Amino acid sequence: MTRLTQTLIALLFGILFPLVGFFAGLLPLYHQGQIWWSSRVYVAAPARVGSLERVKHLTSKKVQMYQTRATFRYTFAGRQYDGGRPSFYNRAERPGGFQDRLYDRLNEARQGNAMIEVWLDPNHPEDAVYDPTLTWETTAASLPFAVIFTGFGLGAWVFIFRLWQRGRNKTIAQRLQEGQLILIEATTGIPVLVSVTLAWNVFSWSLAPIVMGNPRAHSLLPVVITFLFPVAGLVLIFLTCGQLRKRWLAGQPVLEITGISPLRGRFHFRPAIGQRSPPLELMHHITISLRVMKNAMGGKNQPLKIWEHCLRDGPVARGTRVLDFEVDPPRERMRESLAFELEIAGTKFSFLLPRSRAPGGAHDRMRV
> Sign of the CA dihedral 324, 327, 332, 335?
negative
Q: Is the pTM of this model over 0.75?
A: no
Domain boundary among 245, 273, 289: 245
DSSP 301: S
**Mean pLDDT over residues 155-172, rounded?**
79
How many C-beta atoms lie closer than 10 Å to residue 1's C-beta?
A: 8
Least confident segment among 3-12, 55-64, 191-200: 55-64
Asked if pLDDT for residue 213 goes beyond 70, the answer is no
Give me the pLDDT at residue 266, please.
Answer: 95
Question: Does 33 reside within a domain?
Answer: no
13 and 159 in a single domain? The answer is yes
Give the domain range for residue 202. Answer: 3-25+138-163+185-245
61 and 15 in a single domain? The answer is no
What is the tens place of the pLDDT at every residue in 305-325?
Answer: 889 999 999 999 999 999 999
Contact 204, 236 (CB under 8 A): no
Give me the pLDDT at residue 363, please.
Answer: 40
Whole-angstrom distance, CA of residue 15 vs CA of residue 3? 18
Residue scoring higher pLDDT (31 or 97)? 31
267 and 352 in a single domain? The answer is yes
Give me the pLDDT at residue 133, please.
Answer: 83
269 and 120 in a single domain? The answer is no
**Mean pLDDT over residues 135-163, rounded?**
85
Q: How many domains does the chain have?
A: 3
Give me the pLDDT at residue 366, please.
Answer: 45
Whole-angstrom distance, CA of residue 338 vs CA of residue 323? 19
Question: Does 168 reside within a domain?
Answer: no
Question: Does 202 reside within a domain?
Answer: yes
What is the tens place of the pLDDT at every residue in 121-133?
Answer: 999 999 899 998 8
Q: Give the chain's radius of gyration (CA, Å).
A: 31
Least confident segment among 19-33, 151-165, 208-222, 345-359: 208-222
Asked if pLDDT for residue 357 goes beyond 50, the answer is no
21 and 82 in a single domain? The answer is no
DSSP for 222-287, please give it. HHHHHHHHHHHHHHHHHHHHHHHHHHHHH-EEEEEEEETTTEEEEEEEES-TTTTS-TT--EEEEE
Give me the pLDDT at residue 90, please.
Answer: 83
Asked if pLDDT for residue 79 goes beyond 50, the answer is yes
Least confident segment among 204-218, 238-252, 339-353: 204-218
Contact 233, 197 (CB under 8 A): yes
How many C-beta atoms lie closer than 10 Å to residue 356's C-beta?
A: 20
18 and 117 in a single domain? The answer is no
Whole-angstrom distance, CA of residue 306 vs CA of residue 101? 66
Question: Does 101 reside within a domain?
Answer: yes
142 and 212 in a single domain? The answer is yes
Instruction: Give the Å distances, CA to CA, from 348 to 285, 320, 326.
Output: 12, 18, 21
The residue among 223, 257, 181 whose CA lies nearest residue 96 is 223
204 and 329 in a single domain? The answer is no
Question: Does 38 reside within a domain?
Answer: no
Whole-angstrom distance, CA of residue 64 vs CA of residue 58? 5
Task: Give the range with max mean pLDDT: 1-5, 29-33, 108-112, 145-149.
Answer: 108-112
262 and 361 in a single domain? The answer is yes
224 and 316 in a single domain? The answer is no
Question: Does 173 reside within a domain?
Answer: no
Residue 322: phi and psi, rounded to 5, are -140, 135
Whole-angstrom distance, CA of residue 152 vs CA of residue 159? 10
227 and 267 in a single domain? The answer is no
**Mean pLDDT over residues 37-44, rounded?**
89
**Mean pLDDT over residues 279-300, rounded?**
81
Give me the pLDDT at residue 332, please.
Answer: 65
Give me the pLDDT at residue 134, please.
Answer: 77
Whole-angstrom distance, CA of residue 342 vs CA of residue 348? 6
Give me the pLDDT at residue 368, please.
Answer: 40
**Direct distance between the N- and C-terminal alpha carbons of the chain, in angstroms, rounded to an integer:** 16
79 and 157 in a single domain? The answer is no
What is the tens place of the pLDDT at every residue in 178-189?
Answer: 777 788 888 888
Going by their DSSP bridges, the two strands 124-131 and 85-87 should be labelled as parallel
Q: Domain with 278 in it: what CATH number? A: 2.60.40
Question: Does 231 reside within a domain?
Answer: yes
What is the tens place of the pLDDT at every residue in 187-210?
Answer: 888 888 998 898 888 888 877 766
Q: Residue 335 CA to chain centroid, in angstroms? A: 32
101-104-106-112 Cα dihedral, nearest 10 degrees: -150
Question: Does 235 reside within a domain?
Answer: yes
Give me the pLDDT at residue 225, please.
Answer: 75
Residue 122, preceding bond cis, omega within 30 degrees? no
Largest CA distance in the chain: 93
Least confident segment among 113-117, 203-207, 229-233, 236-240: 203-207
**Mean pLDDT over residues 256-261, rounded?**
86
Rounded (5°) CA angle 228-229-233: 115
